[in-house]
Amino acid sequence: MFLLQTGGGMGITPIFFVLMILVFWLFFIRPQAKKQKQQKLFLDNLQKGEKVVTIAGIHGTVNRVNEDGTISLEINPGSYIKIEKSAISMEWTTQLNKPLATTTDKK
């Protein structure tokens, strides 16, 4: 004769699985999607004359935003390179354009 055994932890497993998915979404998927949205907005708002830094570390000034997804970047007066818009680093450009904090010495 077979005995039917019921486990006491069977109801906890689906709840634990749902909680794992929720935590994964809150800490990984949602922040990444938000960052991608900010990056797209940043790239769409690039204007001529803005100082930018590429992901390769090249500093320059936007000379022209082209319709094909590229920009003309002036790296020295009269020296231009054509790069993809996606090669602009939002984080480094923000750091470059951040106003310098004024320090006051208290004595």
Does residue 3 form part of some domain? no
Number of domains in the chain: 2
Residues 63 and 95 in one domain: yes
pLDDT on residue 7: 53
pLDDT on residue 12: 74
Residues 72 and 85 in one domain: yes
The distance of Cα 30 from the centroid of its chain, to the nearest Å, equals 12
The distance of Cα 54 from the centroid of its chain, to the nearest Å, equals 13
Residues 53 and 92 in one domain: yes
The CATH number given to whatever domain includes residue 83 is 2.30.30.140
H helix intervals, the chain: 12-24, 30-44, 90-97
Residues 27 and 51 in one domain: no
One pLDDT digit (tens) per residue for the chain, 107 residues: 555 555 555 667 888 888 999 988 888 888 889 999 999 999 999 999 999 999 999 999 999 999 998 999 999 999 999 999 999 999 989 888 887 665 555 55
pLDDT on residue 2: 54
